[in-house]
A and B are shown apart, each in its own frame.
Chain A
Amino acid sequence: MHDVSATQVTDEHKAPTGFIRKYVFSLDHKVIGKQYFGLALVAVFVGMVLSWLLRIHLAYPTWPIPLLGKFSAAGAPGGVMTPEYYLSLLTMHGTLMVFFVLTNAPFAAFGNYFLPIQIGAEDMAFPRFNMMSFWTTFAAFVVMMASFFVADGPPISGWTAYAPLSAVGGDAGPGLAMGQNLWAISIALFCVASLLGALNFIATTLDLRTKGMSLARMPYSTWAWFVTSVIALLAFAVLLPACILLILDRVGGTSFFIPAGLILSDKLQPHSGGSPLLWQHLFWFFGHPEVYIAILPSIGIIATILPVFVRKPLLGPRALIGSMVAIAFLSYMVWGHHMFVSGMNPFSANLFSVPTLIITIPATILTLLLTASIYGGRMRFDTPALFCLGFISVFISGGISGFYLAQPSLDTYLHATYFVVAHFHFVMAVASLFGVFAGTYFWFPKMFGRMMNETLGKVHFWLTFLGVYCVFMPMHYLGLVGNVRRYSAFVDDYLAPLIPVHKFITIAALLTGAAQLIFFWNLIWSRFRGPVASVNPWQATSLEWSTTSPPPFDNFGAHHPVVQNGPNEYGVEAPDGTDYVMQMAPREGV
């Protein structure tokens, strides 16, 4: 019996030696995690540059941007972008950020790297699916980026690709021919990749937990990735059919989303009877859970990291996990709140409003648990801790505006304004990214064996923290006074007096973006020159801190860890005089 398993061990756990197998088409979840992280870095850089271009144009609509003029002579003649090209870039900013950054970085990248280690497994349940998942995502990214280089550029229909604009084809405007095709294909590929990834995460969590790793002993980040993968499995399984129907409308001549009698460019469109609202229903049935796909992993990361730096256990672990599950469940009942002004039956608006307001209860419980856990702790203000505190701050700031938007009567006024832009950037984008930053500073030593520079990290935190408030706080006021979103300029109408606010936001956005270059530099510099990390530099408890930095190919070096404790043993008097007990530490008397 032992012989059999021993031979299987050598069969399954040979570390690959060739370059391609080791670094490119790797089956190792750690390499795949890093690949996702790298892809997210590229995507976030492109997305950030796009936001710079958009902001410059909003505040200084007549300024030429010479490089942009060279990049797209049609989209930005003489360097000044056309209103259509503004929408194209806006579409790409949203799409890249939501799919390739907010879904990839906190969920796919960190989840891939740390979920198996945190449950004591050697790899994912299906390493081959895992590899396919990354490379399909990569293909989706390449297809999406290709839309920059086709004749009339990326689509102008926004990251939500509302039909019929997204469905009718080139007659409706620039980017809606080839660009929109590429968009739809890319998102369909992304769905397939995410489904494979989610399937892998769920099977891994269910089947590969090591001895003693009961569900209750899983770290919060593992819980968050697990819950998120369940959401992702069901959400992307709906977006994929939606994309298929969209593609059929575009290339197959069907009429799922295109109504009858549509005349575009003086041409009667050969479609009849489709429902644009159907696309919105399908899209937002995915789209709202997607918000939680972006934020839940970050909540889990923060809940894992915060106690390490507060040096006391998190309050109400079960309430915290219960809240995450409740949010996941409720996320499927609220999609209609994105459609209050879409011509939906006003009665259903009320129906969607109630669960939306209910969802604030678990979200508030989460936030209060995180905040209250700080009380009475001995806080260590290392960079990951700062980003934890920053996360709580921006999550609250963004969450509060949600109370208003959840109500149809108020949303009718605010929906198409910058108030919504402020809301979702705070609560979804910035909060999720703060989780990614906290995770990066926290886990970098484990992933690369070197510490990141603390001084640069703190400078990065303060500039980013103040920066995002300067960028997004004023947008609330813009929205309240009626500054519509999705417009490319506000020069000669009632919004002209608001231009100074836009200028302020633009300057803040440029500076905040520039501050991210510190982060990029810190990543590169620390990768090669950072001080060598010990096994457990932060004195944390979860399993990844019991193995080398970085971990060996099979994570625990031919051994299965045995888990004796929960992840929350901080602020205790350990036998060896420290104040924490690792998950693998033997219990007394056992």
Chain B
Amino acid sequence: MRLPGERLSLRLPVRALVLALVLTLALGSLIAVSLTIGSYDMSLAQVFATLLGDEVSRQMTTVVWEFRFPRTLVAAFVGTMLALSGAALQNVTRNGLADPSLVGISQGAGLAVVALTVIWPDQSSALRPWVAFAGSLVVAALIQGLSWNRRGGSSIRFILMGIGVAAFISAITSALMTYGQIDRAMSALAWLSGSINAAGWSEVRMVTVWCAVLMPPLLILSRSMSALQMGESTAVGLGVRASVMRYALISVAVGLAAIATAAVGPLGFVGLIAPHMARRLARSGVGLHLLLTALIGAFVVTLADLLGRALFAPIQIPAGLVTAIIGVPVFIYLLQRTQAKSAL
């Protein structure tokens, strides 16, 4: 089965592998730069020394270890999760415009977390990821149910449905915030536009633990993803239990997006940008594509967070706003390239 493709694909993984290496280095240097920039200026050497455990000065240790390092780590991990979630969603729905925040999954997690904060303000931190997961799972099921029809979905219709669902959920979230009188609290507003401002070690712990839980299933599923890409009947012909795979993939995608949202709030368009960019930069098999997607996602969100806090310092722009401003032009560009036949 792989024979015809093998001759063609021989040369290309090299490019993808080099790209993965370049991206890793770029991400590393971006993180390093991001650690030096802020209201308290430090040199790269000082940052490295502090990270390696030398105490250059107490202030530096505090700034790096308590504020900048956890924040940058959360940004990178959240970017990875959202990008992979977007890639999985695009694969399952065979829809190039799918993104967890566009189809309402992030908003579902947001609503669940706000509801938890309003109803049981005391125990929000421990339950948060579970509640977010439940909320986005319900929304995913809702969209799946709504967009099901015998003729098979059109991609634009699916996205429009998601936009409607997202608008509805956002309205309920706002009403809940009015009810809980947290609509005036700036922190809630910042969280709802996707901000990494407040991220600390507890968020790092949550994000890394869940990454470790959700990555292996995604890797196992990635083999059947390449079969699913060719269409459901082909996948079935290739021996993939398509419906089981589909539900498993959706669950993983929802889980990744839910945890990311629970940590920093809904960050839009990352899951849309990263997989497309990865495909653009290098053609590769599904596994390598996922790796590139993850690296690009981490890079984009780290960069968005850095831009958000550095551009107009001391005012911090939530990373979610930066990703939206970058993401919408990409979305419009992709809309221009969507197949006419899928436009209904």
> A and B: partners?
no
Q: B residues touching A (Cβ–Cβ < 8 Å)?
A: none
